[in-house]
Amino acid sequence: MTTPSPPGGEPTDRHSMIVRAFLLGERLDVRRLDQRQALATTPLTLRAGRRGHVVVFRYGVVALFDVSAEEEAHLLADMAPLVSEPLSEPGREQTNVDVIPGAIEQVGPDGTIVLAEITPERLQIIADVLAKDLVLEHYEIRIAAVFDRVEPLAARLKRPGRRSFSTRDLLAQIGDVLLTQHRMVGRAEVLEKPEVLWSTPELEGLFGRLEREYELRERSRALDRKLEVVGRTAETLLDLVHTRRSLSLEWYIIALILFEIMLSLYQAVTH
């Protein structure tokens, strides 16, 4: 049970809440949201319902704190028109938060996040970690699929005889790698600390514990290694295709030169 909030404040006794984060698409137009009652702007943090909160990220993630199922459905429906390249199956992450005044802020053995109090900065840090977790999960699945498509192409190099590769497919693989790197580094900034820590460095410990709990750095490095392997394999195969085409062109030129020489000799002999 939660006692009423003091004017302009948050509940002061111990209570729990559920946090749900959704990856809706590639981008979310935050500028079109009503920001008149925003608690913070980087990332945008708003009140939702009677005592809930919503944190919105421009790279397509929305985190909902202590929001009822009805309010959640209403919020997601309102944001749907603002999403670019929406996902057919939105990513979803959920965790629990226990607010215990005076407690050491940490992550429990069952994954429950313990906070000493609710502040916009703490909500932003939790939302930031959940959002990056969703982005990493999305691209882990995507790169695994790309990896599966590239592996058979690389296996063909071991086979004897003539090998044929589609330039269009290889360029598509390289494009997937470059696009994924751009979105991870340029938009989600997976390895960057949230901007809120510049003004509240005392919360860096909370962020560090959450970052380790969700293994953000380890997963990001593993994904980078996969991207590097896929990109290098596709580029190598593309170089082989270009080299083969160059050799074929050179043989065509040699054949034309020999034909011209033979034709000149024939004309010289006949005349």
Per the DSSP assignment, residues forming a β-bridge with 96 are: 18
Q: How many CB atoms lie within 10 A of CB 270?
A: 6
Residues carrying CATH 3.30.310, the chain: 15-117
pTM over 0.85: no
Token look-up 């005044």 returns: 101
The tens-digit pLDDT sequence of the chain (271 residues) is 344 343 344 445 788 999 999 999 989 999 888 887 789 988 999 998 878 999 999 989 999 999 999 999 999 999 999 999 899 999 999 999 999 999 999 999 999 999 999 999 999 999 999 999 999 998 888 877 777 766 666 666 566 555 555 666 666 666 666 666 656 555 557 778 899 999 999 999 999 999 999 999 999 888 888 777 777 776 776 676 666 666 556 666 777 777 777 777 767 777 6
Helices (H), 56-192: 69-79, 120-155, 167-182
Give the chain's largest Cα–Cα span. 113
Model pLDDT for residues 250-260, shown as the tens digit of each residue: 666 777 777 77
Instruction: Give the span between the Cα atoms of 188 and 194, in whole angstroms.
Output: 10
Architecture label for domain 15-117: 2-Layer Sandwich (3.30)
Instruction: Give the span between the Cα atoms of 223 and 137, in whole angstroms.
Output: 10
Token look-up 């054949």 returns: 255
Model pLDDT for residues 125-162, shown as the tens digit of each residue: 999 999 999 999 988 888 777 777 666 666 665 665 55
**Terminal Cα distance for the chain, rounded:** 112
